[in-house]
Structure 1
């Protein structure tokens, strides 16, 4: 079912050898470009036509009436509501601690630089709605934005034919729980274009966050610059670094838990134990057969993006998982805390047998919007910082400027930018102190 890659004894760079899903965002760009341009020029009319073409739903308005949000919350299964409330409470507790405070540094007497942290004014939050319903993504996007102090939040999610062209009611209920009343029934690249350009019903935003399919990722790439983006999210992935102490039932179940998202989802086990590799492979077959989305999971596990990687020892295993830079990384080894402390590249790290990725997806308090496709080597997951901008405020007196004026003029001359120097000289009647 799942392929094996034997890196024992190898000194090669593992990046080229590890399994990875192919995601050709560049090729998708040309397909989403006309969609985005159509929304730009025709607004709601274009959104209605595009939505009917791709989602099989004929909208009369793109915005979800507020009463539908309240209705969805009133009809929500009490057990699901309780679970969402716990998820929100824990996410708020973690994200509230991330808020940065302004800080002033006195560089010299009379000269200070203050870093002010200012929230983005308006944010568009994308919540997927394809193969599954993701109210948890509402929580993970909205909570950090609210804790950052964003004043204007809009959520969009694809319309569902089974729910009269509205997003899934559980998504609407999650929005209501969080106090978000601006919600749109628009999905795909057209939703990103709606946020970027604005329409008669939706004001343009400054930043778009949230995972989506390849068309959403391509639209984000296309419109980056007009809007800020969090990331070009690809298929979800899990890597598990495990040794002989790991329980193969847990490892197999955790690989399956991510594989059920998408046929392109990646599940990678890195281990120095051949016995564990054999046991996990043996566990996968009956567990996949017994679960609901067995066909989708089997496709993901059979794909080139998934595999079992054999290494000489945990040291080599650490090099491999750092090279892979997984969205989700589980450490199931002896002394897992010490091993986890040595990891440099991961979207989120889950330590030991009792912290599976599923916990982080819903109720650990951490954020599940994380970098994919190896981007964890340079990018972070969604957090309060994603919605803040640091602004430097420079405040110098005449005396403080005079002290450094000569150095500024000399550097301006070295860069052949005499106008920069003249802006200093003009303030001292063209006689620069220290020159």
Structure 2
């Protein structure tokens, strides 16, 4: 018997709307105590024993019989062989996606990723020096599913930023995926290891005899990977701790309802905890979308996952107006936000918080996932209120530049000394005063 998907039906005019809406949005990011304990032990062990611990855990969890770390490194020849062995259509698609992703991130770098400086009226130079990270590690999931597109989205911005060395780690099952290895070749991975889990994160964070220590770790993973990234943050940078995937569709009733139904499915098929929400002021249109959900669901291979996601976390919400729909969207701050409207440019200025905004009926979220160009690594769980998509800026750091002229030292020294004495820091004050001309 085919599963059914019945997202929660709400209307903003309902008496209990606020409570039911809040309950549907709620997702607990609390981690399992057993996971935390296991990760703590693995990280400590890898930090203490290095390669030996990484090899032991990799053999245990991936059921391998590797006798050395050398057996777990994937050479450039293997990545290229995977690429050469793909069907021509897949090779062309990988290269086209990579070109578009690179082009977008090169534009992003030009827009805000360059060093700058200026001199004030005293001849003092002030500015900012932008430099890339030296070495980055990218974690690529390889268990339930492998995502070559995520590999491109993590690696290409690092290349554009100027990162010197990019290390890929992937669990053993993912290392058997030719499309994923080919993406590593096209994206320009420098070294690749078939290790995963918390042990891979620990190896990247602290370094071993074989795995180089990195400056930052990016890429999604399971609960063990997320916990490990959280624990090593501070020793290295991390991109984010991602929650389940989300899509919010703002519809004015002009987009074919089957398109909207399939867009809702596109996130629901990721995971039972993924969230798909429709906001629309047209109740009859919402009925049509539900009818398409019923019609289309049986056709999909991942229908069981979709049904669980839609039934557990999905919602079809009837709003008073599109303006109200935009206001609710800002409260949700979704990962993916589609404006399914004939005039998306009318509504876009009202929207403040979203990981990525997809404008117009022809802009399916899936194009953003694979090949439009902007990064698909996006903030989830309402964190778009204060965070941004992965980008070139995540692989750069900024140093302030200050060169004070003799004339500038006279004016700035007096200000600094006054404040320093007020804070009780006499050495600060005197260091400034020594550079001032005696009066």
Equivalent runs, 1:10-159 vs 2, <5 Å: 16-25=22-31, 27=33, 28-60=35-67, 61=69, 62-99=72-109, 100-159=113-172
CA offsets per residue over residues 293-340 of structure 1, 9 Å max, x none?
11111111122x322222211111111111111111101124212212
Are the equivalent residues in 2 in contact too, given 1:118–1:388 (CA < 8 A)? yes
Is 1:405 equivalent to 2:413 in the alignment?
yes
Distance 1:90 1:200 in 2: 37
Contact 1:19 1:307 in 2 (8 A): no
RMSD: 2.0
Q: Which residue number in structure 1 is paired with residue 330 of structure 2?
A: 322
Pair 14,318 (structure 1): closer, same or farther in 2 beyond 3 Å: farther
User: Is the 2:409–2:436 Cα contact (8 Å) retained in structure 1?
Assistant: no
What's the CA shift for 1:219? 1.3
TM-score for both structures, normalised by structure 2: 0.92
2:3 matched residue in structure 1 = none
Q: Which residue of 2 aligns with 1:424?
A: 432
Partners of 2:321 and 2:398 in 1: CA distance: 43
Aligned mates of 1:56, 1:420 — CA distance in 2:
60
User: Is the Cα–Cα contact under 8 Å of residues 214 and 234 in structure 1 kept in the other structure?
Assistant: no
1:365 pairs with 2:370: no
Name 2:197's counterpart in structure 1: 188
* Contact 2:342 2:361 survives alignment (8 Å): no
Match of 2:302 in 1: 293
* CA distance, structure 2, for counterparts of residue 9 and residue 421 of structure 1: 64
Q: 1:191 to 1:409 in 2, by over 3 A?
A: same
Separation of aligned partners in 2, 1:319 and 1:55: 47
Q: How many residues align?
A: 426
> Shift of the alpha carbon at 1:14?
9.4
User: Is residue 282 from structure 1 mapped to residue 288 from structure 2 by the alignment?
Assistant: no
CA distance in 2, matches of 1:182, 1:265: 32
**4+ long deviations beyond 6 Å:** none
Kept in 1, the 8 Å contact 2:335–2:354? The answer is yes
Residues 333-412 of structure 1: pairs in structure 2 closer than 5 A: 333-412=341-420
Unaligned runs of at least 5 residues, structure 1: none
- Displacement of 1:279: 1.5
Question: C-alpha deviations, 1:258-313, integer Å up to 9, x for none?
Answer: 1111122111111222112221122112322111111111111122x322222211
* Superposition deviation, residue 15 in structure 1: 7.7
Q: Is the 8 A contact 2:413 2:436 kept in 1?
A: no
Q: Which runs of 5+ in 2 are unaligned?
A: 1-5
Give me the whole-angstrom Cα distance separating, in 1, the residues matched to 2:428 and 2:410.
15
Deviation at 1:9, TM superposition (A): 6.4
Q: Verify the 8 A CA contact 1:125 1:210 in the aligned structure 2.
A: yes
Q: Secondary structure at the match of 1:97?
A: helix
Cα–Cα, structure 1 residues 14 and 392, in superposed 2: closer, same or farther, change >3 Å?
Answer: farther
| Alignment check: 8 A CA contact 1:15 1:323 kept | no
Q: Deviations over 1:205-238 (max 9, x none)?
A: 0011112222222111111110101110111111
- Residue pair 2:409, 2:435 contacting (<8 A) in 1 also: no
Per-residue deviation at 1:26? 7.2
TM-score between the two structures when normalised by the length of structure 1: 0.93
- What is the alpha-carbon distance in structure 1 between the residues aligned to residue 130 and residue 381 of structure 2? 30
Contact 2:138-2:167 within 8 A present in 1 as well:
yes
Task: Provide the C-alpha distance between the structure 1 equivalents of 2:292 and 2:436, rounded to a whole number of angstroms.
Answer: 79
Distance 1:272 1:158 in 2: 46
| 8 A contact 1:23–1:214 mirrored in 2 | no
The offset of 1:69, in angstroms, is 1.4
User: CA offsets, 1:188-209, max 9 Å, x none?
Assistant: 2222111101112111000111
Residue range with higher mean Cα deviation, 348-357 or 57-66: 57-66
**3-state SS of the aligned residue for 2:205?**
helix
Shift of 1:179: 2.8
